[in-house]
A and B are shown apart, each in its own frame.
Chain A
Amino acid sequence: MTSTVRAEWTKLRTEPMNVAVLAAMCVLTVAVGAATAAVTRCGGGAGRAIDPTRVSLTGIEVGQAVVAVLAVLVISGEYSPGMIRVTLTATPRRWTMLAAKAAVLTGLVLAASVVAVGGSLAAGRLLLAGNGVIVAHAITGAVVRAAAGSVLYLALIGLLILGIATIVRDSAAPTGAVLGILYVPPAIALFLGSDPAWQRWVERYTPVNAGLAILNTTGLRHLVISPWPA
Chain B
Amino acid sequence: MRSPLTSLFAGIIHRIMHRTLAFHSRGWRDTSMLSCWPWGPLPRSTCLPSLPSRLPSNSSGVDGGGCRAAPDRAAWEPRHPIHTVVLSSSVVTVAAVIAAIVLPYILGVSGVLPASAAEWVLRVTAAGFAMEQSVPQYQQVVGHYGPPDYFPLGPGLGLAVLCAYALAAFALATWRLRRRDA
Contacts and interface: CB of A to CB of B under 8 A. Distances in A.
Consensus secondary structure, chain B interface: helix
Nearest to B2: A191
Contact of B89 (A17, A55, A66): A17
B157 to A, nearest CB: 22
B116 A191 contact: no
Contacts of B107: 58, 61
A89 B169 CA distance: 44
Given A65-B103, A172-B17, 10 more contacts: A36-B113, A39-B117, A46-B111, A46-B115, A61-B107, A62-B99, A65-B99, A172-B25, A175-B91, A186-B110
A65 B10 CA distance: 16
Interface string B134-156: 00000000000000100000000
Given A172-B17, A173-B21, A184-B13, A179 B94 contact: yes
Contacts of B95: 65-66, 68-69, 72, 175, 179
Contacts of B148: 190-191
B14 interface: yes
Interface in A77-99: 80
Given A65-B98, A188-B6, A180 B109 contact: no
A208 B56 CA distance: 36
B24 interface: yes
Nearest to B99: A65
B51 interface: no
B58 interface: no
Contact of B114 (A39, A66, A176, A179): A39
A186 B16 contact: no
Interface of B: 2-3, 6, 9-10, 13-14, 16-17, 20-21, 24-25, 89-95, 98-99, 102-103, 105-107, 109-117, 148
B91 A171 contact: yes
A136 to B, nearest CB: 20
A218 B109 CA distance: 21
A44 to B, nearest CB: 4
A45 B94 contact: no
A176 B24 CA distance: 15
16 contacts: A36-B117, A39-B116, A45-B115, A58-B112, A65-B98, A171-B89, A173-B17, A175-B17, A176-B14, A176-B98, A180-B13, A183-B9, A187-B9, A187-B102, A190-B148, A191-B6
Nearest to A66: B95
Which of A17, A76, A80, A172 gathers most chain B CB within 10 Å?
A172
Contacts of B109: 187, 190
A176 B106 CA distance: 17
Given A65-B98, A172-B20, A40 B105 contact: no
B144 to A, nearest CB: 9
A66 B95 CA distance: 8
A191 B113 contact: no
Nearest 10 CB-CB pairs, A to B? A44-B114, A176-B17, A172-B90, A39-B117, A65-B99, A175-B94, A179-B98, A183-B102, A69-B95, A180-B13
Interface in A150-170: none
A140 interface: no
A46 B89 CA distance: 41
A175 B97 CA distance: 11
Given A179-B98, A183-B103, A184-B9, A45 B91 contact: no
Which of B2, B24, B110, B114 gathers most chain A CB within 10 Å?
B114
